[in-house]
Every structure is written in structure tokens, then in C-alpha cells.
Structure 1
């Protein structure tokens, strides 16, 4: 690997860490970059997953103020993301990639729609409801986080968009706090998938790629958290929609 290609991969890691902290879908930057430099797709996917964990750590830490006092909620949701990511990582190792190709763009589109319609759906649900939070929201959110974790363990691109769509509809918390939830839950999914790959797919790991993306995404997570926390809710929703649409276009027309 040349110095220039290594620098390009590291810079892609910075961009991915920044995007992931703000909304997610950073893999749509790093994964094509790795393919461009001739890295095998499976090796690129596995190595990228390991490297991007570093950005998840800094991105989650950057939102620690928004997550103050949210321990009970995170303790309820994190195991679901963990279980889902284990299943998703296992599916990656045993199923052909074509198994998920058709449904992934649909899931991302659903996430984008939920982000856009979240406030309106919340308002309609709450009007006429005696309770601040309808009882069905908790189990629905649990199922959504579990499924998003499965997707995250399998591939992970735009997992943040899916989670933000689910959370924005089913939670009454401010959008920035939900972004903090998203960062923690995607970190759990990526970390678990990384452990599975370390145990069962070591032959597909390119450690130089892992280090380059890890260093880049670590810095990007810090940048993204500082930038993202300053965005008003409507701006953050717009960014989520734009990145979600880009993800769909990339996966459907430029696989």
C-alpha cells in the first residue's frame, strides 16, 4: 500500500467518524474507498467494521452530556442491540450478500420516512392519549432496536439512519438526546460484530486498514460530536434525510 492510498483511507476514516457521530452511514464513505484501492469486499467490510469502532467510542463520549441520567433507558436498549448484532454478524459469515441486497435500501428508506414524519406521528398519537408515552411504544422500540442491531452486525451502513427513524417516532426525548442513544447503540452493534469477526474471520482482516480507519474515525468522532451537538433539530433531520437518500442511491445504482 502506497503512502497516498494509506492517507486517503485514513482521511476516509475521519469523514466516516464525523458522519457517524452526526447521523450514521460513515461506512458508505470508507467501504467504497477500500474497494477503490483493490481490497477484497469481504476483507474491506470486516476490516472497516473493526476500525470504525474507535470513532463510535469518541462519538458516544462526545454526547455524554445529552445522555446524563439516561442510564435506565440505555441499559434496556443496549442488550437488544447486542443480541441483534450477534445475529447479524453471524448471518454475514453464513449467508450470501445477495440475501440482504433487496431489503437494505427499503429499510433505509423507511428510516428516512420515519425521521421526517416522526414529530407529526408523535403528535397524532399523543392527542387524546391519557399517558405521556403510549404503552406500545416500549415494545415497538425494543423490536426496532433489535432489528437495527441485526442490520448493523451484518453491514452497518446507514444503521444510524434506521435507528434515528425508529427512535424519533417512538420516543419523546429531544432529537439530540436520541442522537446520543444512536451513537451508543451503533457502537454496541459494531463492537459485538468486531468481536465476532476477530473470533471467526481473522483471515479476512487487513490490520493496516484497521489501524488507518481506527485513527481516522477516532478523530472524526470527536469532530462530529462537536459539530452535531450544535445543530438545531430541523437541520439535523435534514442531514439525516440527505445522507439516507445518498445511501439508497449508492446501494441501488452504484453497488
Structure 2
């Protein structure tokens, strides 16, 4: 089984300022699917027309982050913001339906400024579990998979609430909904815990989406770093992973110049 790769157009093709043009560029580069963080500044009808013209699938979008200017990065686990999380979820579902997207990353959010993680952890987890159950019911009506993603707190975001696969798995057990799964971002998992082979094998039944970037620079998988991606790709193939692998990394140069590592896979998808 050959892995299927999708371009994260929030990171790749950033040479182009507009998302519709990035969709076109991804298709021209050989991708058959893309993912993105937030497309909410672009009309969903415009995005749908371009993605249909390009023959692309939209594999994944995120729920709205909240107020980025005031340091927010998702609201799923933030107490007192339940209504806004649900409003954002409704918006994400609207976009997902318009784009025929079957996966939504339900962002947890950050520990409030000035708060100690240990002091608020129980309340934030309870809020997240409640919101994820609500999301599961909403998404089930539309045939959409919800995902939660641990984000490392050592390099990327010291205040992010959900930061390890172990924490995420424990929360998924409490949520107990089959349409809420785990998003494996190799970059974050390696930084927080390492032990990638055992963790991927252990949590494989929970994994609903995969993303990749080299560690520690967060560049192309074949750039210098500590992760052997040929090995990990073989492992995912052996385990029977049939979802998309999202290319969520910062190109060292132009996006196109850095795609040599994925060309063989893209050709297999044609």
C-alpha cells in the first residue's frame, strides 16, 4: 500500500498570497489533496470552484482559532468559551460541507495567561471532553471525522493545553466517541516524547490523520534532522494506514524545489 500525501497550503506554496492560487499550485505540483489550518477569510464558494477545477480533495481543516491577536489558538478546552467553540464548530462544518471535507481538527487552545497548568488542568480537560462530545454528535450528522492534535510545548507553543499523545489518548477514552480520533503530527510527538515506533504502534487504532515535518527545524522530511522518515513511512504502510499524510512543514527554499522527497508517492497517486 502506497501512502497518500496532501499539501498543507497554510505552510506550502506560501509564495502565493491567496489560497485559491495555492490550491492551483498544489495541483500543478502533483498533489491530489490539500489541507489547511484556517480558510475562513476566503469565500467557500470560491474555494469550491477552484478545488473542483483543479481536481483536488480538501482533506482537513481546523476549527477557528479564536482571537489570534490576543493569543488564542483554539477554544475547545477553554472554560467559559463553550458557546464560542460551538459557534466556531458550526462555521467549520459549514466550510467542510461546502468543500466536501471529511476531517476537522478540533483545536484545544491554550492555558490562560497567568494560570498554572497544574491548577487548571482538570477543569480544562472536563471542558474539552464536554465540547468534544458535543462536536462528535454534530459531526456524526454530517459524516465528518473530528480530530485532536497534541502540539509540543517545548518549541512551538509553551501554553498549548494538549501536548502529548498519552494525554490525548486518555481524553479520547473519556470522550468515547468513534468519530473523534487522534491526529499524529510526527514533529510534535518526537519533540514531546520520542519513542515514535512504539507510540505509533500503541496508538495506531486511534489515529485518524498524520502530518510530517523534520525535527528540529520543521522543514522537509528529507532535510537534516533526527527522524528517519523512510522508516516511518514504511511503518505506516505496514500498519495499513490508508488516510492522508499532511505535509505541514516550512520549506527551506521554494515549495516546488523541496518536493523531491515526495515525487515518487505523488506519481503513484496518479
Same fold (TM over 0.5): no
Structure with bigger RCO (C-alpha 8 Å, 6+ apart): 1
Tell me which protein shows more helix as a share of its residues.
Answer: 1
Tell me which protein shows more strand as a share of its residues.
Answer: 2
